[in-house]
Chains A and B, each alone.
Chain A
């Protein structure tokens, strides 16, 4: 049984109100006491519910890219010294460094591509899909993406979900293929549109007759940018 004093200590710990010394001492005790661990987890979850229960707001979409860009290590801090060393010790070492540098450049190019990846949360357009959550991760350079979704209702045999990429510069949405039928509630599929798209496209999922359509004919159930 966790007494009231200990309960208070747990609350102070989770809220960050304990001094560093007291927090370290508490953590030692926490490591040994299963009951205390359970209670601490319950308090964490309760605060998590309280904090996460405030009205949600659409967050800025650029933050992940900003973080990943800032967190990457500085490129080639060693290059001036490496070049000097190469000049000094000869062509053979220079050739080795050059090969290594090319690899590093290739890695950086790949990372730069990653920084341009776009993420879109698809919103339900009809009540039946209110509990469906879907996120698209789109790579504009490779013209392909990943659709991750949960709780997508099953369709009858004569219908399929079809993915669309909506490029404002094109007269009609570009098909990105059918979503394979499955009983799994949560899945991830890759997709690529049948035509190249530009800019910041929208993504949509519609219900189409089995086998899909050239242009969306059925109901659009999810859409997002």
Chain B
């Protein structure tokens, strides 16, 4: 059984109230999602709150998950990302994040393979880093800001001093290239 199908099955079981399946789903998805929440919030306690809110939503809305629309992992990523964005926007912590994202390192730091990450997540991290290296820096910056920072496209345009249309085009072109890289293998 492939990874996506297994995750989808666990979501289906959780939708029927299977607490053990929910626990297994958490153990499979949470390391990546917590890493993402931590990077977005830049605070361990807030990242934990975001993760808990995200998985509470997953538990409550598991029966809304539509496997034809996305993999369970992408579904969970967007849920946790949106919970983090809600908090970022509510708390107006954009300045701190803007500084972070526009810094050289960005969200995808270079790590050697002795990282404490489990192998599957290490592979995913390396693959995304590789893909992001292959797109234009301004596209990468726009995609990362759009996904992680909590800024609207208008705010990103203002922050980067570029027209809104240019920012939207960078996001779109960057995403399409990333899609192609992921589909074809980096």
- A-side residues, CB < 8 A to B, are 4, 7-8, 11-12, 14-17, 37, 40-60, 63-64, 66-68, 70-71, 114, 117, 119, 121, 123-124, 130-131, 133, 135, 137, 146, 148, 186
Contact = CB atoms under 8 A, between A and B. Distances in A.
B172 A47 contact: no
A185 to B, nearest CB: 8
B127 A53 contact: yes
6 contacts: A7-B176, A51-B36, A52-B73, A55-B35, A68-B22, A137-B20
B24 A135 contact: yes
Contacts of B30: 59, 63
A68 B19 contact: yes
A203 B156 CA distance: 48
Interface of B: 1, 6, 19-20, 22-24, 26-28, 30-36, 38-39, 47-48, 51-52, 55-56, 59-60, 68-71, 73-75, 77-78, 80-82, 85, 107-109, 111, 115-122, 124-125, 127-129, 131, 143-144, 146-147, 152-153, 168, 171-172, 175-176, 178-179, 182-183
Contacts of A46: 175, 178-179, 182
Contact of B27 (A40, A52, A121): A121
B119 A50 contact: no
A131 B120 CA distance: 7
Given A54-B35, A59-B33, A130-B119, A146 B20 contact: yes
A63 B28 contact: no
Nearest to B31: A56
Given A44-B74, A117-B23, 16 more contacts: A42-B179, A46-B182, A47-B78, A49-B74, A49-B178, A50-B128, A51-B36, A54-B125, A55-B109, A55-B117, A55-B125, A56-B125, A59-B30, A114-B20, A131-B119, A135-B24
A7 B179 CA distance: 13
A52 B55 contact: no
A34 to B, nearest CB: 10
The 5 closest A-B pairs by CB, nearest first: A48-B74, A53-B128, A56-B121, A59-B34, A44-B70
Contacts of A70: 56
Contacts, number: 187
Contacts of A121: 27, 118
A114 B23 CA distance: 11
Contacts of A40: 69
Contacts of A47: 74, 77-78, 81, 147, 175
Contacts of B48: 59-60, 63
A207 to B, nearest CB: 19
Given A17-B152, A67-B52, A57 B119 contact: no
B19 A16 contact: no
A94 to B, nearest CB: 31
Contacts of B109: 55
Contact of A67 (B34, B56, B73, B108): B56
Contacts of A130: 119
Given A7-B176, A8-B172, A49-B178, A54 B52 contact: no
Contacts of B33: 51-52, 59
A138 to B, nearest CB: 10
A54 B39 contact: yes
A119 B117 CA distance: 18
Nearest to A71: B59
A17 B172 CA distance: 14
Q: Pick the most buried of A4, A43, A45, A59: most chain B CB atoms within 10 A of its CB.
A: A59
Given A11-B171, A59-B51, A67-B59, A137 B118 contact: no
A52 B179 contact: no
A11 B85 CA distance: 16
